[in-house]
């Protein structure tokens, strides 16, 4: 297995693939055709030097991925609305600018709406998965004297909340299909990084687990938070909640570096520490159909010359 540098995300009935600054979103339309949007994304890491500093770059990478992810979801969701309303073809939908340089995709959200969605998602995630477990753990003080044990319970409760959330949303048909597209994204990248030509047949027989998955990142965050909070013991609840907020960038930075390291190396140690995250991916990936693999391949080919990559890295 050799690192390719490409990554992606599942969207509604499609896939977003990114290579460097280039990204493409491929979406299966109701008529069976594939709509593709290709563009360039310059994130904070491309603009600011500080956003590329190790152990700091993780939080900026997370923000960049959230912004691009919402934009890709917005593009795919615009086809859902068009199909339900019976509006015409949007085979080559692209972003456009008006005189004030405000972007809005056809049928999608404006920049302001996208920013609001991003902020709202972050606030809800922090409230539910960071502050709520800390508050619940603080209620156990009268029964459990050990602050380290309460921190462990807090972390396990946070993990349980995440698993429950994934299981709950997986009951929705659209989410189940998105998880199938998530599997096709991983299969495409695994196919290439294991030296196989990017065909539907090769993609379908590749693994749906990948070390650089966002699900693995979340698990690393949860595990590192357990370890860190077991050592940082603050009894006063307001300060405890504040410490949880202030340590989010620290935890994200450490987690990003660990995920980055495992994604770029392949040895026994890396495979061992990556395994829990890949087990967790069983919750967020499903086996795709060949038609879904076709969409993923289309997205890859828009931003990545896989034939050149194979010639360079797998000459035999």
Q: What is the pTM of this model?
A: 0.86
Higher-pLDDT residue of 291, 99: 291
Looking at residue 89, its pLDDT comes to 42
Rounded to whole angstroms, the Cα distance separating 182 from 216 reads: 13
| Owning domain of residue 288 | 6-85+104-313
Is residue 97 one of the residues assigned to a domain?
Answer: no
Is residue 95 one of the residues assigned to a domain?
Answer: no
CA distances from 78 to 92, 212, 314 (A): 12, 28, 39
Which of helix, strand or coil describes residue 105? coil
Is residue 81 one of the residues assigned to a domain?
Answer: yes
Over range 90-97, report the average pLDDT.
Answer: 40
Reply yes or no on whether the pLDDT at 47 is more than 50. yes
Strand partners, 10: 15
Confidence of residue 108 (pLDDT cuts 50, 70, 90): low
Which among 167, 169, 165 has a CA at the least distance from the CA of 157?
165
Is residue 62 one of the residues assigned to a domain?
Answer: yes
Is residue 123 one of the residues assigned to a domain?
Answer: yes
Is residue 57 one of the residues assigned to a domain?
Answer: yes
Residue 38, φ and ψ in degrees, nearest 5: -120, 135
Is residue 1 one of the residues assigned to a domain?
Answer: no
Confidence of residue 103 (pLDDT cuts 50, 70, 90): very low
Is residue 294 one of the residues assigned to a domain?
Answer: yes
Higher-pLDDT residue of 262, 91: 262
Residue 290 CB neighbours (<10 A)? 11
Rounded to whole angstroms, the Cα distance separating 160 from 154 reads: 10
CA distances from 145 to 26, 140, 150, 227, 235 (A): 54, 8, 8, 18, 11
Q: Give the total number of structural domains in the chain.
A: 1
Rounded to whole angstroms, the Cα distance separating 257 from 268 reads: 18
Give the contacts of 34 (CB within 8 A, at least 6 positions apart): 26, 27, 28, 294, 295, 298
């Amino acid at each position: 297995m050799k690192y390719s540098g490409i990554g992606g995300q599942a969207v509604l009935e499609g896939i977003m693939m990114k290579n460097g600054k280039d990204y493409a979103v491929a979406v299966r339309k109701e008529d069976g055709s594939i709509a593709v949007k290709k563009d360039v994304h310059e994130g904070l890491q491309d603009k600011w030097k500080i956003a590329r500093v190790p152990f700091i770059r993780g939080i900026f990478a997370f923000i960049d991925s959230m912004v691009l992810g919402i934009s890709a979801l917005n593009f795919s969701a615009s086809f859902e609305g068009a199909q339900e309303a019976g509006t015409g073809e949007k085979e080559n939908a692209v972003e456009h600018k008006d005189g004030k340089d405000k972007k809005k995709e056809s049928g999608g959200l404006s920049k302001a709406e996208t920013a609001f969605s991003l902020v709202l998602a972050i606030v809800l995630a922090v409230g539910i998965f960071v502050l709520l477990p800390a508050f619940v753990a603080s209620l156990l003080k009268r029964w459990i004297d050990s602050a380290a044990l309460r921190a462990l319970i807090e972390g396990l409760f946070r993990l349980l909340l995440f698993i429950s959330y994934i299981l709950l949303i997986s009951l929705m048909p659209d989410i189940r299909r998105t998880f199938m597209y998530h599997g096709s994204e991983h299969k495409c990248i695994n196919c290439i990084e294991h030296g196989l030509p990017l065909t539907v047949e090769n993609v379908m027989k590749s693994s749906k687990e990948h070390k650089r998955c966002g699900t693995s990142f979340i698990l690393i965050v949860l595990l590192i938070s357990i370890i860190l909070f077991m050592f940082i013991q603050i009894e006063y609840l307001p300060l405890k909640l504040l410490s949880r907020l202030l340590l989010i960038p620290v935890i994200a930075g450490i987690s990003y570096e660990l995920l980055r390291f495992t994604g770029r190396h392949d040895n026994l140690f890396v495979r061992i520490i990556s395994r829990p995250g890949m087990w967790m991916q069983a919750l967020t990936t499903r086996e795709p159909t060949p038609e879904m693999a076709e969409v993923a391949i289309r997205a890859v080919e828009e931003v990545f010359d896989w034939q050149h990559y194979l010639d360079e890295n797998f000459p035999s």
